[in-house]
Structure 1
Amino acid sequence: MRVTTTVKAPIGELLREWRDRRRISQLDLAISADISTRHLSFVETGRSKPSRDMVLRLGEHLDIPLRERNRLLLAAGYAPAYGESDIGAPEMTVIREAVRRLLAGHDPYPAAVVDRGWNLVDANLSLGVLTEGVAPSLLTGPVNVLRATLHPDGMAPRVLNLGEWRAHLLGRLRRQVEQTADAGLAELLEELRGYPCDDEVPEVEIPGPGDIFVPLRYLHGDVELTFFSTVATFGTPLDVTVAELVIESFYPADQATAAFLRERVTG
């Protein structure tokens, strides 16, 4: 098990940055965390050192990712509270088995598990329907699913509504950057924004009449497939790695797509 150890700023400054990022006033945070505004102000300005319990409480009320809560604890002079286990570690066996059951149970529809950086952790066999034709260089580890999707040598040429799907993915990544302040994700976002797209759509999703989700319209050979996706995370994680796992499952958005996927497996 490993833990994050890099700290670049004092605890008060980090807390103030997170509070500003969440657009929460000192008064509102103090009320929700059941501390005085004066004490919170002293913590943010460095005039008072918060207890370990207070750091964890503020991290919870600011909805700070577990990885960043560890950094807050280190900045305050305390040991990290949350472990960070390698996905292949023995203690992660139950997690791997649960993920494999979810993925296998979703066949014949595509599903994948990604980590914090959108790197592929695992996938079911049916994901191959979306990756056929992707350049081998994009499918060698670590495989970044956003890069494999939007790169000109990836899925992009076969995504029939590329502008719409690209805007959806970039919007998700932009919100993740805002929520986590992750520099690596910010770099990935800028890289993806630089990929060519003839039908560029604003990242703010504006639904049309009757729209209920953003579809993925994908050309597999000469067959048009249409999907919608759902995202799942672990509900009560106490490990950084587990907290950052995301399971994305694709479902057929029409009967023709469902029939094609079933026949692909049985035929």
Structure 2
Amino acid sequence: MTISTAASVTEPPPFARELLRWRTARRVSQLELASRAGTTQRYVSFIERGRSVPGREIVIRLAESLGLTLRERNSLLLAAGYAPAFAESPLDAVALKPVREALDSILEGHLPYPAVVAGPRGELVAANEAFDVLTEGADPALLAPPVNVLRLALHPRGMGARVVNLDAWGQHIVENLRARAVRSPDPRLGSLAEELADYVPASEPGADYLGFAVPLRLRCAEGELRLLTTLTSFATAVDVTLAELHLEAFLPADRETAEILRTRAARRG
């Protein structure tokens, strides 16, 4: 009688699996990751195979070397059995009061041009008075809290019906969202990207390009606006909430747009 035995296979610990998943997603070799983190390829290999238990400091260095967000770094620390390194404060927390005041100052200082502060999936956090040019004629349902500025921008009952170059401008938003969903896997990002893609017609590069950017061509009561957008984030943030915020500011791409927005501001008093 022949008795066969199967070799037991030990499942790598959670941190080892997570490190391998992130390294694969970022398309970084063990050697490259080791070089970035100031360690050896052999040690990275041992970690991924569950043969070495990394200390808290090396976990943080590996997470930084992979370009993970603060939220993702906290998750990696938890997978390794360590407490999160970065706080996640409510936006109304006392500690973030200087940040809120700074954002209010920036928003006001950008007038008469529109600017908004949004969360990682487009959640509206704050906006200046010129935001009304973006919400003009929008379905009240899209303006009921929580407002999603990405959905508002492309929805046919939001800005979508007034965007002259919805194909090119909308495709830019969708592709950016999809790229973020790939870089930092989040089912909610992927789902939102697919929803927004349904609002955007097929895009073909044309005369709308300024040579370096795709302007937003938006109809309003006074005529057509041509706006460029800039995104600003807190690159040195050590709080998860703050790190996930971004400021989107709109700038006039021609004199006519600037004059329309100045006139609207004067009417608001």
Do these two structures clear the TM 0.5 threshold for a shared fold by scoring above it?
A: yes
**Which residue identity does 1:12 align to in structure 2?**
A
Gaps of 5+ in 1: 1-8
Runs of 4+ in 1 over 2 A off after TM superposition: 205-210
Q: Percent identity?
A: 46
- Residue 106 (structure 1) aligned to one of 105, 110, 117: 110
**1:6 matched residue in structure 2:** none
| Alignment pair present for 1:201 and 2:194 | no
**1:242 matched residue in structure 2:** 242
- Residue 116 (structure 1) aligned to one of 108, 114, 120: 120
**1:45 matched residue in structure 2:** 49
**1:159 matched residue in structure 2:** 163
CA distance in 2, matches of 1:183, 1:206: 33
Q: Which has the higher Rg, Structure 1 or Structure 2?
A: 2
Deviation at 1:211, TM superposition (A): 1.2
Deviation at 1:235, TM superposition (A): 2.6
| Alignment pair present for 1:126 and 2:130 | yes
- Across the two proteins, how many residue pairs are aligned to each other? 255
**Structural RMSD (CA):** 1.7
| Alignment pair present for 1:260 and 2:264 | no
Deviation at 1:171, TM superposition (A): 1.4
- Residue 176 (structure 1) aligned to one of 175, 180, 183: 180
- Taking a change above 3 Å as real, the CA distance of residues 210 and 250 of structure 1, as seen in their structure-2 partners, is closer
Deviation at 1:256, TM superposition (A): 0.3
| Alignment pair present for 1:17 and 2:11 | no
**1:32 matched residue in structure 2:** 36
CA distance in 2, matches of 1:210, 1:219: 18
Deviation at 1:252, TM superposition (A): 0.4
Which secondary structure state, in structure 1, belongs to the residue aligned with residue 241 of structure 2?
A: helix
**1:3 matched residue in structure 2:** none
CA distance in 1, matches of 2:48, 2:157: 48
Deviation at 1:206, TM superposition (A): 9.2
- Residue 73 (structure 1) aligned to one of 77, 83, 87: 77
Deviation at 1:222, TM superposition (A): 5.2
TM-score (norm 1): 0.91
Gaps of 5+ in 2: 1-12
CA distance in 1, matches of 2:147, 2:183: 23
**1:5 matched residue in structure 2:** none
**1:93 matched residue in structure 2:** 97
Q: Deviations over 1:103-146 (max 9, x none)?
A: 00000000000011110000000011111111111111111111
